[in-house]
Amino acid sequence: MSGLSIKDRIKIPRHKAPEQPPEVRSRNFEEVCLGFGLEEAKEEALRCIECPKPSCVAGCPVGIDIPRFVKLVGEGAILEAAHVLKEKNILPAICGRVCPQEKQCEQSCVIGKRGEPVSIGKIERFVADFERLSGRVELPKPGASTGCSVAIVGSGPAGITGAFELARLGHRVTLFEAMHKPGGVLYYGIPRFRLPSDVIESELKALEYLGVEIFKDAVIGKALSIEDIFKMGYDSILLGTGAGLPKMLGIPGENLVGVYSANEWLTRLNLMRADLFPDYATPIEYGKNIVVIGAGDAAMDGARTSIRLQPEAVTLVYRRSRAEAPCRVEELHHAEEEGVKTRFLTNPVRFIGDSHYKLKAIEVMEMALGEPDSSGRRRPIPIEGSNWTIECDTAIIALGCDINPLVTRSTPGLELTKSGIVVVNTETGMSSIPGLFAAGDVITGGSTVISAMGQAKVAAKGIHDYLVAKKGLRLQYAAV
Amino acid sequence: MFQIFTRQEIAPKTVHLKIEAPLVARKVQPGQFVIVRVDEKGERIPLSICGFDREAGTLELIVQAVGRTSHEIYDLQAGDSFLDVVGPLGVPTHAEKFGTCVLIGGGYGSGAILPMGRKLKELDNKVYGIVGARTKELLIFADRLQAALDRLFITTNDGSAGMQGLVTDALKAILDDEPVHYVVAVGPVPMMRAVSDMTKPLGIPTMVSLNTLMVDGTGMCGACRVTVGGETRFSCIHGPEFSGHDVDYDELVARQRMYAEKERAALEEYLKQKEQSLCQA
């Protein structure tokens, strides 16, 4: 393999992972992307020119040693490559599926500057799946006990990552989860056709081997306060409660029957399995025409789950243009392939109901783009007199989330921004309350799985250093 | 698992359960609720709390078998368990010294007003209760309320117990008689609406406890959205109590019935399966 010159490597075309054809997958909930096979993965890995100053690692929020794991794949040493991945990323099968690699590692890939970047994400996914299905998964072991205990609030990506890191350092970890299943947004938010449940379950299993105690049905801020948790003897707390309060439009009719938040729509279908009603008891109601409002990842998930329910039409409505859509390019592409129609530069102004309060149409306005706003994107400006109506019986509002106030507003002394985001020291992850750290959407207001994981690593190190200082432990933080 | 310690049928198709839920029992305040799930395939539904014992770690719930999930709960026996009990959720009843308070309960609401009444009594209020039902055997918690409150008014549609009429008839009688400073109504929407309509022109602060559909119960999904005073509120974290004078009741009822057809089908399916398993046994 090492015999290949840079020229030879660059000549290899980028491999595309096979996918279920759009007309097939739009009628099922099975995984869309089928992933690389061994040969494809190896060949794709050989496209890496092993540049002396790789920039891909800096593009990864958790700092995976990308050149090393890719090289091992090229050499066919897949299980070894898996070990390299897991040094930095304990959820590689999940991240290989849901990370926006095109904005991270692959964007920084040197060969991507001239041609197409190495398909790092799909190789990561292959490696993780290979290890998982090989039955030879290397199980993580907890570190030698430090005698310290840490409580983690929320078991989404930030909480899980914090739990892994801290347990591997030898701290006793308890995860508190408000829902009936750990995983947070991985379960309730991301549809199975992007992230199958068995993948989540298998990656979460490692928590058990690390001795992490999971306490479900525990709503922190209600059943227990942050103060109660400290009183129970925990030396430190990591808050990873996410955003979790859906933003609404604040326009007339938004509570009509048939209007859902993306969170409700996705939770019913993903976590509660409304697609299997009445075998599962949670129902969902939809009509012939479904309109999804927004263009982030949750909007795509809403639109793509909708199309799988086989209504007559699913239409995505977004007030800015295609170029400003915050979702992954791949997701919008997938959605359109599956038959989702798009209406850019279109903004809802009111929901119209019938005499039974049932949604029958949305009045919208056409928009034009003006000067850039504070987000750097061109501001949408309404065009007077351009109003028209879209007939629909179901609408899904996917505008992102505000910070859920249950924990943050019930914790005296916790510094929050005006919009309710927890203020932390970005180097340690510590909040204004000594010993209370935070990571994930609760400190950003909403971002990706992987950035939550990156922040959780920072906070885990912050917690470890805090405990070392507080308890006089003779333990250095070894990045794991 | 959250075990059912005692189960008592207190009215036809209506059970009073005492369940194990130590974490909830430690913190619960009157007016709060829990979300329960019966089994792995079950839905998450909110239930009002009608009693609690912090030391024993128990909660009391009243469940009337109406839809599939409430039938499943009704069919549980002492010794059986809920898979999940989550809480305490929602904002507790606001309680202070108001003067004279009237608490009005219909159906399960007759249970929910009991802890509220005790709390208001502790704060030196004069507390009257009104409970109504179609007929005598459907009355819930009348003796307990009688024992806990200053006075209990009972109304039945057919006059088989208390005065003949509706809870609003009893409320009117009280309002004609003496000044009332605070009213809380818990139960079916038409009842809460009628109470609010009666107190609004008199300017008496009136709270109603909304039993909206919910999924997570922690603000995450917004299934429980309700319009109050023209603004969208989440019943689970902003409520469940809101000013009865400001709630958009028509919208509330429409949202509560959103899945009515599906629920009917699911209930039929459940009853059919139950019958089959009984036949086999």
Q: Amino acid identity, residue B230?
A: G
User: Dmax of chain A from CA atoms?
Assistant: 74
**pLDDT score for A192:** 95
Quote the minimal CA–CA distance from B219 to chain A in Å. Answer: 6
Query: What is the spatial distance between Cα B250 and Cα B242, in angstroms, rounded to a whole number?
Result: 15
User: CA nearest A228 in B: which residue?
Assistant: B27
Decide if pLDDT at B180 tops 80.
Answer: yes
| B238–chain A Cβ distance below 8 A for any pair | no
* Binary contact (B223, A358; C-beta < 8 A): no
Quote the pLDDT of residue A366: 97
In this predicted model, what pLDDT tens digit does every residue of B68-121 receive, in sequence order? 999 999 999 999 999 999 999 999 999 999 999 999 999 889 999 999 999 999
As given in the structure block, the two tokens for residue A355 are 């005499």
Interface residues from chain A to B (CB-CB < 8 Å): 178-180, 188, 216-219, 222-224, 244-246, 248, 250, 254-258, 260-261, 263-264, 267-268, 272-273, 277-283, 285, 356-358, 404-406
**Which ranges of A48-77 would DSSP assign to H, the alpha helix?**
66-74
Strand (E) positions, A373-426? 378-382, 388-391, 394-397, 401-403
Question: Do the chains contact at A257 and B258, CB–CB below 8 Å?
Answer: yes
Q: Mark yes or no for CB contact B41/A280 under 8 Å.
A: yes
CB A344 within 8 A of CB A315: no
Identify the CA nearest to A224 among candidates B64, B272, B239, B27: B27
The full set of domain ranges for chain A reads 6-134, 149-243+403-471, 248-399
Q: The domain A248-399 is classified under which CATH number: 3.40.50.2300, 3.40.50.360, 3.50.50.60, 2.60.120.560?
A: 3.50.50.60
C-beta atoms surrounding A203 within 10 Å: 22
- Contact (CB<8Å) A405/B269: no
Give me the half-sphere count of Cα atoms (radius 13 Å) on the Cβ side of residue B243: 11
Report CB contact under 8 Å: B220, A180.
Answer: no
Is A217–B86 a contact, with Cβ atoms under 8 angstroms apart?
yes
Chain A residues within 8 A of B254 when measuring between CB atoms = 256-257, 356-358
Q: Which of B190, B131, B129, B177 is nearest to B156 (CA)?
A: B131
CA B116 to chain centre: 11
Tokens matching residue B24? 């909830």
What percent of chain B has pLDDT above 90? 94
Cβ neighbours of residue B219 under 8 Å, at least 6 residues apart?
A244, A245, A404, A405, A406, B234, B236, B237
The pLDDT value given to residue B279: 83
pLDDT of residue A475: 62
Size of interface A-B (CB pairs under 8 A): 123
State the pLDDT at residue A480.
43
Q: How far is B233 from chain A (nearest CA, A)?
A: 10
On whether the A149-243+403-471 domain is CATH 3.60.20.10, my answer is: no
Pair of tokens at residue A228: 């109660």
Pick from A222, A248, A280: which is nearest to B232 by CB?
A: A248
Mean pLDDT across chain B, nearest whole number?
A: 95
User: Which pLDDT score is estimated for A479?
Assistant: 46
Distance from CA of A350 to the nearest CA of B (A): 14
B221 → closest Cβ in A218, A250, A264: A264
CATH topology for the B100-256 domain: Rossmann fold (3.40.50)
Q: Which fold has domain A6-134?
A: Fumarate Reductase Iron-sulfur Protein; Chain B, domain 2 (1.10.1060)
Residues of chain B with CATH 2.40.30.10: 2-89
| pLDDT value, residue A46 | 94
Q: Which residue of A has its CA nearest to B70?
A: A281
DSSP-derived 3-state class of residue B190: helix
Of A158, A199, A234, the residue nearest A441 (C-alpha): A158
Quick one: closest CA in B to A398, which residue? B221
Which residues in A lie closer than 8 A to residue B232 (C-beta atoms)? 248, 250, 254-255
Nearest to A278 among B23, B222, B266 (CB): B266
Average pLDDT per run of 10 along chain A, which is 480 residues long? 80 93 95 95 94 90 93 95 91 92 91 92 96 86 91 96 94 96 94 95 90 96 96 96 93 97 97 93 96 96 97 97 91 96 97 96 96 88 96 97 91 94 95 96 90 94 93 61
At B142, which amino acid appears?
A
Q: Which tens digits make up the pLDDT trace of B182-206? A: 999 999 999 999 999 999 999 999 9
List the one residue out of A139, A120, A137, A119 whose CA is nearest residue A128: A137
Look at domain B2-89 and name its CATH class. mainly beta
Residues of B in contact with A217 (CB under 8 A): 84-86
Is B87 an interface residue toward A (CB < 8 Å)? yes
Query: Would A149-243+403-471 and A248-399 be classified into the same CATH topology?
Result: yes
Pairwise CB contact (< 8 Å): A254 & B225: yes
